[in-house]
Structure 1
Amino acid sequence: MANVIPYSLFTDFDIDLFKGGKHYRLYEKFGSHLVTVNGIIGTYFAVWAPTANQVSVIGDFNHWVDGEFSLNVRWDSSGIWEGFIPYVEKGTVYKYKIHSNNQGYISEKADPYARRYEHNPKTASIVWEDNYQWKDKNWMKTRKSHNALDAPYSVYEVHLGSWKRHETEDRFLSYFELGDELVNYVKEMNFTHVEFMPIMEFPYDPSWGYQVTGYFAPTSRFGYPDEFKYLVDKLHENGIGIILDWVPSHFPEDAHGLGYFDGSCLYEHPDKRKGYHQDWKSLIFNYERNEVRSFLISNAIFWLEQYHADGLRVDAVASMLFLDYSREEGEWEPNIYGGNENLAAISFFKELNEEVYKSFPDVQTIAEESTAFPMVSKPTFMGGLGFGMKWMMGWMHDTLDYFAKDPMYRRYHQNEITFSLAYAFTENFMLPLSHDEVVYGKNSILGRMPGDEWQRFANLRLLYGYMFTHPGTKLLFMGSEFGQYNEWNFQQSLDWNLLEFEPHKNMKLYFSELNKFYRDTPALYEKGFSGEGFEWISYEDTENSVISYIRKGNDPVNNLLVVCNFTPATIKKYKVGFPTNGKLKEVFNSDSKKYGGSGISNSKQITLKKQTWNNREYSGEISLAPLGINIFQVK
């Protein structure tokens, strides 16, 4: 005990907030912090372990000897063990040796609040702090305009370990290298944001980062924490926002992790019906416990505050909302009202979003939620969960199923491509074509397209054109933008060599210019979550498998007419109705020869005539490209 000096960063108010589940900056108190006490430089340690009867800090500084540096338990029944150890410096490797009151259970745990961890497969924590000098002041001042719900929002989803590997050394690119290569590529492709699959420290590569053990540390696979900040800085310097995948739904059972932390179910729910995920073989957080809620909300705030993240995409929300998620009858217990909703998780989400938007009104939280749970992206004062956006999983499944069909039979499935508009404005939807759709035998997006090679690429261009003119924000997984043939493999780089071939090179150009067209066209995003921004012209032409609609922004002069031809037939003199007089000028065409198309276009302006069609007062005749999308501005 003599080797640990009594010291605390906690005030009585901190303890009250922690116990009440209302402390949202716990990372300022818990973990390891370099401090000076009585003129001596060292490290303050604090860990929550209420079932322990002894907690020691062990590490390379004392040859991992148990009991030499035992922390002091606080007197206030908070369950916090703390103390100052002199001369423990930045870079010190350590763990907590925990002796439990529960049947003599002993464990060695990584620090839940550590800012850095050893490189896997090693599992210890590292005393760390950095003095990174941020250079994104201009971005932070103006980012509200980039992250607003009426701004263009096109997201590139990236798995850092497999986006690109070092060409000669067969290793991951570092955060520094990604700060050049990835940032330049995202900028070239005209995405507004990137979304990183989880970069929080995790032990098992095949989990893709979704089994987190170090919630407060960027993974050491790619470098130091300050180097990750450099990557964020470079993105912001180039006008690109960053969204982080965040996983408050479950965590792995690894011995050094959060599971059975102090010989009790501390972070996980003690009832396996609520505390164990059978599909993922992982533990589920106890949303009923105040201290756990504070841990999770503090973690969300940490990434927004300390790493300047512009948003959090919250993983597996549906698994948290429902007590019977992936469970058979008898494997779950109804809530106090007899329903299947997890009331504690629902209140947690509301509290999370209220705190995030209170502290950071210029960011977005995005729910990966696949059910019909109501009002996910509505404010909490209206009874909603408070998220900024929700993934439109129904659109994703219906659209991919439709495009996989032979165009000959699409006429019988027109409702699949139009049904999403029946509910498109019930939430603030993001349209995702994510990593989950290109693994486990589902094929790549290009691989799902029917027909010969030309038709496959034409279908893909049409799919993306339809996606970008459909209401809602956009997300695309890496590799899909240039037509990756193979399914995604987390163990290797994307197939960048495909860009040596014209179809893939053309597809990359197409997607870059489609992104730019989206960003430059207010009618495609200003009213993306409102029925005022969309008007059907025709969804009934099943014979030709053609749909047409208007996209509207704040200024009617920017309105667009969009026509999609889902067959490989070129249709000359296709008649389309329009509600006002004027001239149609083609402003985007997926069938352009520079994209690998056949070059069917409307090179001359088309004068609308006062002749009723599609129940509209005016109409005109246009040429429809095969498997193409033609977009017109009305002058």
Structure 2
Amino acid sequence: MKKEVQVHSFFSDFDISLFKAGKHFRLYEKFGAHITEIDGVKGVYFAVWAPSAKKVSVIGDFNYWNEEEHPLNVRWDESGIWEGFIPGVEKGNKYKYKIESSHNGEKLEKADPYALKCEHPPNTASIVWELDYKWKDKKYLSTRKEVNSLDKPFSIYEVHLGSWRKNVLENRSLTYKEMASELVDYVKDLGFTHVEFMPVMEHPYAPSWGYQITGYFAPTSRFGDPQDFMSLVEAFHKAGIGVILDWVPSHFPQDAHGLGRFDGTHVYEHPDPRKGYHPDWKSLIFNYGRNEVRSFLISNAIFWLDKYHIDGLRVDAVASMLYLDYSREDGEWEPNEQGGRENLDAISLFKELNKEIYGSFEGVQTIAEESTSFPMVSRPVDMGGLGFGMKWMMGWMHDTLEYFKKDPIYRKYHQNDITFSMTYTFTENFCLPLSHDEVVYGKKSLLGRMPGDEWQRFANLRLLYSYMFTHPGAKLLFMGAEIGQGEEWNFDTSLGWHLLDYPNHKGIQDTMRALNQLYKTQPALHENQFTQEGFEWIAYDDHQNSVLSYIRKGKSAKDKLVIACNFTPSILENYKIGLPNGGKLKEIFNSDDKKFGGTGIKNKQIKINKDNFHGKDFSAEINVPPLGAVVFQLL
């Protein structure tokens, strides 16, 4: 017998006008399933956008999945919103929307795009839930503006939650609650300032690593419920560590219960396959020019910052959104109205997104994974930029890894590969990424790329990290790299924690701990990491010895570090470098230290001489260890 769905709305006329204009950025407060009480009756208010639907019903475990029991009412204002209050539905009930399309009469069963919780895959129903939680991270949030600013250390540990560590006895991933202890303690011990999670949003296909999302507002149920994930974020905050989420507005999968052809028509995806289908990922692309879709996407980004206290969003595949011809041949794309290849709708979306985020949340950062030379990605919108806080430095990553895989005997012919990044380092606020993408699909692990015998491979890896942490910019390292993982990353298995039983691998981890400490405690390495004032070459042209030497500077004239990197296995004794002023050099870090697995070539305190060299008024002679980096304080 059909039960009446009481008419009740969470939407005001102003909400509707904002939604239609693409300016409503808190849609999660209106759409979805909301536990509420009307006239003393407890139940759930449902609202869904299905503009081409002929009929929409809520089906669930409370009505035996019968589409005749609880039909929703379409709003009179042509917004395409269907809504209704169903008495008696409770937290924990499973549901979907049964949608009959007016386009062709097709009937579809769809998960709620705004669901706060989803069933554990492979099941696909949405679950009625609430986000009630007594947060205890007020102290961290009150200082976040200071901690998260661009003149502070930004060292990111990138994590895939399902494969960081397994419960071996039960052959499963750790839960959010278990990670709130184990992962937080580990990240804090190593000294990283931030953690970045590969997508936590619900996704049906584990081999997608989370990048094929169907539940944009729900943390995956694989590891616990929404409150469990909140407790993980809170635990990081209590440890003084910021949390960054991967956010994926670039594409979504075609799974039957997902956003694709939501009401039998192209609701969320662009109807033109030249703009609406991604040939690389066999997935659908959002219609960035449709106002209601823009509201959905920006609301989703805001949701994680608002409800889960997230400190930053790393926006995935930005380049694929910026260009209409991305991964397309001639004839497979259409120029924009100005005749160019830029996606003007996506560009305006990014600008609006970043304006809203930075205007609404103090101390957060957005980071673009953007691999082209698109200008001003990390410059403010009012200056003509896209408004991101940072951009991944993909050119540095590529050139550096290409250089390091070469046998040291040939490196002198490729000095330009390792110095080229400094010609454009300060054009953006760059983050240096050694991410998950660099240790999959036959690329080998970072250690696996290093040439030479065992000692040289580990020395090269310590040198790579030392060069990275003394190069201007923020840092990002994917899990496993800090222990010298030998194999490529496998999303289905745990990291090789047993490797830490071996001194060389333990030495890599100790090196990373020391580098994070150096980065955090030396103002010269972070205060001016995005400005030209923070860097000065000593010599970039010693091809014969394959040595780089440079100075990093803080905001105070007294905060100066001198760095020398030797990319060959030869010991360079009494190696002369020019310096800007007199005084002394005190060694404060050496990647060749015996405690890291090195040979132990060190420097005692060195007096600086009044002797012109490298175009500078002073000079000193230092020992530069084999395949090593040495950092001096300029006293």
**What range is the shorter-chain TM-score in?**
over 0.9
**1:317 matched residue in structure 2:** 318
**2:622 matched residue in structure 1:** 622
**1:478 matched residue in structure 2:** 479
Q: Is 1:137 matched up with 2:164? A: no
Q: Distance in 2 between matches of 1:143 and 1:362?
A: 5
For structure 2, list consecutive stretches of 5 or more residues without a partner in the other structure: none
How big is the shift at 1:506? 1.3
How big is the shift at 1:66? 1.1
Q: State how 1:356-371 maps to structure 2 within 5 Å.
A: 356-371=357-372
**1:573 matched residue in structure 2:** 574
How big is the shift at 1:513? 1.1
* Alpha-carbon contact 2:250-2:321 (below 8 Å) kept: yes
**2:32 matched residue in structure 1:** 31
**1:499 matched residue in structure 2:** 500
How big is the shift at 1:145? 1.3
**2:382 matched residue in structure 1:** 381
Q: State how 1:439-478 maps to structure 2 within 5 Å.
A: 439-478=440-479
Percent identity of the aligned residues? 67
Q: Distance in 1 between matches of 2:69 and 2:605?
A: 83
**1:107 matched residue in structure 2:** 108
Q: Is 1:394 matched up with 2:392? A: no
Structure 1 residue runs of 4 or more that deviate by more than 6 Å after TM superposition: none
**1:414 matched residue in structure 2:** 415
**1:509 matched residue in structure 2:** 510
Deviation digits for residues 475-529 of structure 1 (CA, Å, limit 9, x no counterpart): 0000000100000000000011111111111111111111111111110010000
Q: Distance in 2 between matches of 1:54 and 1:299?
A: 26
Q: Distance in 2 between matches of 1:233 and 1:428?
A: 28
Deviation digits for residues 435-473 of structure 1 (CA, Å, limit 9, x no counterpart): 000000000000000001100110000000000000000
* Alpha-carbon contact 2:27-2:296 (below 8 Å) kept: yes
Amino acid at match of 1:396: M
Q: Distance in 2 between matches of 1:342 and 1:130?
A: 36
Amino acid at match of 2:545: N
Q: Distance in 2 between matches of 1:80 and 1:88?
A: 20
Q: Distance in 2 between matches of 1:480 and 1:104?
A: 53
**1:609 matched residue in structure 2:** 609
Range with bigger deviation, 408-417 or 504-513? 504-513
**1:22 matched residue in structure 2:** 23
TM-score, normalised on structure 1?
Answer: 0.99
Q: State how 1:36-435 maps to structure 2 within 5 Å.
A: 36-435=37-436
Amino acid at match of 1:356: I
Q: Distance in 2 between matches of 1:360 and 1:580?
A: 43
Deviation digits for residues 84-104 of structure 1 (CA, Å, limit 9, x no counterpart): 000000000000000010111
Q: Distance in 2 between matches of 1:111 and 1:227?
A: 21
How big is the shift at 1:3? 2.1
Deviation digits for residues 66-111 of structure 1 (CA, Å, limit 9, x no counterpart): 1210000000000000000000000000000000101111100000
Could you say what secondary structure the match of 2:299 adopts?
helix
| RMSD of aligned Cα (Å) | 0.6
Range with bigger deviation, 296-305 or 504-513? 504-513
Amino acid at match of 1:185: Y
Could you say what secondary structure the match of 1:597 adopts?
coil
Q: Distance in 2 between matches of 1:506 and 1:11?
A: 61
Q: Distance in 1 between matches of 2:186 and 2:379?
A: 34
How big is the shift at 1:130? 3.3
How big is the shift at 1:2? 4.5
Q: Distance in 1 between matches of 2:625 and 2:278?
A: 49
Q: Distance in 2 between matches of 1:131 and 1:346?
A: 35
Q: Distance in 2 between matches of 1:349 and 1:510?
A: 38
How big is the shift at 1:164? 0.4
Q: Distance in 1 between matches of 2:421 and 2:286?
A: 33
How big is the shift at 1:622? 0.5
**2:589 matched residue in structure 1:** 588
Could you say what secondary structure the match of 1:484 adopts?
coil
Deviation digits for residues 365-391 of structure 1 (CA, Å, limit 9, x no counterpart): 000000000000000111000000000
Amino acid at match of 1:392: M
How big is the shift at 1:15? 0.3
Q: Distance in 1 between matches of 2:237 and 2:362?
A: 18
Amino acid at match of 1:384: G
How big is the shift at 1:609? 0.8
How big is the shift at 1:361? 3.0
Q: State how 1:539-554 maps to structure 2 within 5 Å.
A: 539-554=540-555
TM-score, normalised on structure 2?
Answer: 0.99
How big is the shift at 1:605? 1.3
Q: How many residues were matched structurally?
A: 634
Q: Distance in 1 between matches of 2:172 and 2:4?
A: 42
